[in-house]
Amino acid sequence: MLAATAFLCVASLAIAVAPAAAESLGPAPMRNLDEGGMSFPAITGPEAPEEYPFRVDLGEEQFLEQVSSTEVDADYPGHLPAFSITVEPAHDADGAAVPTTLELTGREVITLIVHHREGNPAAAWAPFDYPVVGGSGWPGGFRTIVVPMENPFGEAERKIIEANPPAALEPVPVIVCKVPTLRGYSLRGAKNRLRAAHCGIGAIRLAAEATLGKSKVVKQFHPAGTELAAGAPVAVKLGVGRQGRFPS
């Protein structure tokens, strides 16, 4: 009788321990996707769940369909899309991206799986640094290092620099075309004056009986003193003056 009693006690202890171990490594409690979206609590160690199930409130005639390892769609009959559900990214305390997948595990249930126990696939499966939280990370992770910088100059050099600040840069002059007076000049003379004023020759119009070689500028189509962009063309009219005067 004593031996039998001892055996029963050991068996009852084993049954009591097993559910606790399974509960710590099992999925998290079911939540409604409309309550806070696809988020999960901070994962503080490898004993925390990897699976986080969510119930999706579907409309009439809607159904869920697995599209990829990171997306589940809600469709109407005929596979007409209603909305998409994409996986929540995750990263560890060191900024390393933690793989996450999304699985359709029931008619109205999707499960977010945060694969934190196997380690970082981008760093030879090195263990992740906890806590693991939601949000995108970097492949392999990153570390933020603050390096204090000492003053490269001594006190004497600092005083010299403060007493002789660098001179302000001179403003770069803006080159413009300032139209010169062209009336009364030959075509060659007008071109020279335009070139010196950073302007260009524009359309050339000839009055009756005028020639390019012997005529003078009788009209310019931008008044003298007008400022234009550098190289802007200035059109002129060539004519033959009468009685020492040029027509307008």
CA–CA dist 158, 94 (Å, integer): 39
Which is nearest to 218 in space by CA: 192, 177, 193, 187?
A: 187
User: What pLDDT score does 36 carry?
Assistant: 83
214 falls in which pLDDT band (50, 70, 90)?
A: confident
Lookup: tokens for 143: 């570390």
Q: Which range among 18-22, 37-41, 185-189 shows the weakest confidence by mean pLDDT? A: 18-22
Collect all residues with Cβ–Cβ distance below 8 Å to 65 and sequence separation of at least 6.
72, 73, 74, 75, 79, 104
Residue type present at position 43? I
CB neighbour list of residue 131: distance below 8 Å, 6 or more residues apart: 42, 43, 44, 92, 93
Tell me, what's the pLDDT at 151? 62
Question: What is the reported pLDDT for 7?
Answer: 32
Q: In 10 A of CB 92, how many CB atoms?
A: 20
pLDDT band for position 64 (cuts 50, 70, 90)? very high
Q: 124-183, pLDDT tens digit by residue?
A: 999 999 999 999 988 887 655 566 666 666 677 777 777 777 666 667 778 999 999 999
Q: Is the pLDDT of residue 21 over 80?
A: no
Structural domains in the chain? 27-134 (no CATH), 176-239 (3.30.10.20)
* Integer Cα distance of 89 and 230 in angstroms: 55
Confidence at residue 159, expressed as pLDDT on a 0 to 100 scale? 76
β-pairing, 97-98 vs 90-91, is antiparallel
pLDDT confidence bin for 194, thresholds 50/70/90: very high
| pTM score above 0.85 | no
Nearest to 234 by CA among 209, 184, 198: 198
Residue type, 150: E
Higher pLDDT, 57 or 17: 57
Q: pLDDT band for position 14 (50/70/90)?
A: very low
Alpha helices by DSSP H, listed for the chain, are 2-25, 155-163, 187-196
DSSP code at position 123:
G
Burial of residue 122 (CB within 10 Å: 0-12, 13-18, 19+) is: middle
